[in-house]
């Protein structure tokens, strides 16, 4: 893989961290965005430095347009281009639909969907000028099949897949590919509220009989970077939980 300038949002923990690590180990220039977990982001940087690999950390709340624009300006000034954007940052909300408030709605939609709109818009302007680029959005199986007590989360992720397909059509004119990866249940802090029994029950429903690993999403990102002919797709990485 030729060295690329790659922005990964939400890279301090979980899936984003694994993606940033995999792409940095491949020799790419990785900008690892984070928001609250400064120590964890620094740990990732230190871990890679021990292997003589540098990554650039950038703190920004991707649900805030000004912070997003400052981040993209910083990257363009320093590296002159962004080849790949991975919109990974996201949050979860587990609540009965009847108890979801307007603030909850705004919180989930802003962090999960508005953020993808905002970062993609800021980055795509530069990709259009370069007539080249790749955007990968991390959505979710729940955007495809719905989720009881996570309705707003499911809405935000279904919205991401709609944006993916629309942008894949519109931006193809500028040689920009856009795809989603829809993970099933992946072993990260996002699922800390699930008991061992909850996880065992989910595993029984999954044909491959286990939940996924962050590295498996990172490998899918790598595959999408390498395969030039894939655009407008929602790639399910879920052990067959939904087919
Ligand atoms: P996680 O372990 O909770 O990590 C979430 C990451 O997103 C953190 O690095 C966090 O950064 C960042 N983040 C959240 N809001 C942000 C904001 N406004 N600005 C910048 N960064 C922000 O979650 P994960 O499981 O790795 O999930 C990553 C993505 O995969 C999410 O979009 C999630 O919806 C999706 N996904 C996860 C699963 C799963 O089972 N884990 C399944 C399907 C889809 P800070 O801590 O620095 O704030």
Instruction: Classify domain 5-237 by CATH number.
Output: 3.40.50.720
- Report the alpha-carbon angle 126-78-53, nearest 5: 115
CB of 239 sitting under 6 A from ligand 1? no
CB of 220 sitting under 6 A from ligand 1? no
pLDDT digits (tens, 9 = 90+) for 118-167: 999 999 999 999 999 999 999 999 999 999 999 999 999 999 999 999 99
Ligand 1 centre to CA of 179 (Å) is 18
Q: Which atom of ligand 1 is nearest to the CA of 187?
A: 41
pLDDT digits (tens, 9 = 90+) for 49-74: 999 999 999 999 999 999 999 999 99
Separation of alpha carbons 223 and 229, rounded Å: 11
CB of 10 sitting under 6 A from ligand 1? yes
The rounded percent of the chain whose pLDDT value lies above 70 is 99
Whether the pLDDT of residue 1 is over 60: the answer is no
CB of 180 sitting under 6 A from ligand 1? no
pLDDT digits (tens, 9 = 90+) for 31-41: 999 999 999 99
Instruction: Determine the residue of 12, 60, 86, 90 to mutate for testing ligand 1's pocket, defined as the one with the most ligand atoms within 8 A of the Cβ atom.
Output: 90
CB of 140 sitting under 6 A from ligand 1? yes
Ligand 1 centre to CA of 160 (Å) is 14
pLDDT attached to residue 120: 99
pLDDT attached to residue 123: 98
pLDDT attached to residue 3: 87
Catalytic site includes residue 153: yes
Global model pTM greater than 0.95: yes
pLDDT attached to residue 147: 97
Whether the pLDDT of residue 26 is over 70: the answer is yes
What b/e readout covers 87-126, taking b as 16+ CB neighbours within 10 angstroms?
A: bbbbbbbeeeeeebeeeeeebbbbbbbbbbbbbbebbbeb
Mean pLDDT across the chain: 98
pLDDT digits (tens, 9 = 90+) for 83-100: 999 999 999 999 999 999
pLDDT attached to residue 2: 62
Q: Catalytic: which of 34, 153, 229, 242? A: 153
Separation of alpha carbons 193 and 206, rounded Å: 20
The rounded percent of the chain whose pLDDT value lies above 90 is 99
Whether the pLDDT of residue 191 is over 90: the answer is yes
18 bridge partner residues: none
CB of 57 sitting under 6 A from ligand 1? no
């Amino acid at each position: 893989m030729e060295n690329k300038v790659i922005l990964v949002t939400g890279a301090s923990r979980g899936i984003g961290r694994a993606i940033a690590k995999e792409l940095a180990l491949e020799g790419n220039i990785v900008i690892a965005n984070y928001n609250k977990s400064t120590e964890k982001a620094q740990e990732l940087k230190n871990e890679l430095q021990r292997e003589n690999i540098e990554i650039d950390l950038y703190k920004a709340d991707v649900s805030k347009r000004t912070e997003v624009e400052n981040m993209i300006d910083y990257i363009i000034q320093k590296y002159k281009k962004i080849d790949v954007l991975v919109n990974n940052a996201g949050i979860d909300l587990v609540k009965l639909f009847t108890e979801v408030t307007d603030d909850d709605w705004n919180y989930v939609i802003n962090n999960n969907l508005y953020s993808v709109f905002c970062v993609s818009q800021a980055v795509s302007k530069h990709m259009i000028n370069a007539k080249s680029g790749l955007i990968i959005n991390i959505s979710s199986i729940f955007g495809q099949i719905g989720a009881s007590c996570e309705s707003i989360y499911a809405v935000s992720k279904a919205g991401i897949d709609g944006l993916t397909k629309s942008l894949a059509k519109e931006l193809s004119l500028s040689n920009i590919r856009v795809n989603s990866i829809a993970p099933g249940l992946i072993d990260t802090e996002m699922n800390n509220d699930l008991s061992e029994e909850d996880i065992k029950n989910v595993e029984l429903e999954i044909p491959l009989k286990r939940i996924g690993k962050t590295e498996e999403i990172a490998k899918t990102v790598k595959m999408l970077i390498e395969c030039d002919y894939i655009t407008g797709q929602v790639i399910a990485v879920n052990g067959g939980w939904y087919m």
